Chains A and B, each alone.
Chain A
Amino acid sequence: EAGVAQSPRYKIIEKRQSVAFWCNPISGHATLYWYQQILGQGPKLLIQFQNNGVVDDSQLPKDRFSAERLKGVDSTLKIQPAKLEDSAVYLCASSLAQGAGEQYFGPGTRLTVT
């Protein structure tokens, strides 16, 4: 089966600019996660969707980050305006259902904010 797809793979922007990341989960996976991984740290959950509804966005900086999963399949994560500390790898993952255990990760998008 095809894995989780993400694009772009790399992005360099200046601070205060905006950026968007796209994720296509594994077909049939109801749950989608966005993680932020800062260099030298483990991934940290930003937001979790169950179909097109938000389950957990407690660690999403809502003043600058937004995410949507309008049709319960693809998802977009946006940052506007970006700050230097947003430089990180943004990982998308999906699982069959909530609490299903194994999450399948995409290759990630490496964001550099200068």
Chain B
Amino acid sequence: AQRVTQPEKLLSVFKGAPVELKCNYSYSGSPELFWYVQYSRQRLQLLLRHISRESIKGFTADLNKGETSFHLKKPFAQEEDSAMYYCALSRSGNTGKLIFGQGTTLQVKP
């Protein structure tokens, strides 16, 4: 069965420090991986997806099939990055159904 694991419920860093939000998945095929973000009092929204290989708001994520990971990274955290981050998986060629991890709260302190 497909599964997404985010081992940290809370990650607290100071402004300007590097950030890495961990995401591991289990799936035997070729997955599509996403990071969704929910800022305070806002809707859940897409941050980035692995196939686009973009950097959004300074965040990047690389799919490592050998380690079955899709960690989200940013070299210098900003206070406005404070939010709940969800890693999600969709099976390639699938209906689009997303399987979400439990989420990690990122708290960036001034």
Contact = CB atoms under 8 A, between A and B. Distances in A.
B49 A42 contact: no
13 contacts: A41-B103, A42-B103, A45-B98, A48-B95, A55-B95, A56-B97, A93-B44, A98-B95, A99-B94, A101-B49, A102-B49, A104-B45, A107-B43
A91 B44 contact: yes
B46 A42 contact: no
Interface in A1-44: 3-4, 31, 33, 40-44
B93 interface: yes
Interface of A is mostly: loop
Interface of A: 3-4, 31, 33, 40-45, 48, 50, 55-56, 91, 93, 95, 97-108
Contact of A105 (B43, B49, B99, B102): B43
Nearest to A89: B44
Nearest to B45: A105
A31 B44 contact: no
Interface in B60-93: 86, 88, 90, 93
B63 to A, nearest CB: 14
A42 B101 contact: yes
Contacts of A48: 95-97
Which size class do B's interface residues fall under? 20 to 34
Interface string B11-51: 00000000000000000000010100000000111100101
Given A42-B4, A42-B86, A42-B103, A103 B98 contact: yes
B34 to A, nearest CB: 8
A101 B102 contact: no
A3 B99 CA distance: 22
A43 to B, nearest CB: 5
Given A102-B46, A105-B43, A105-B44, A45 B97 contact: yes
A2 to B, nearest CB: 13
B96 A44 contact: no
A104 to B, nearest CB: 8
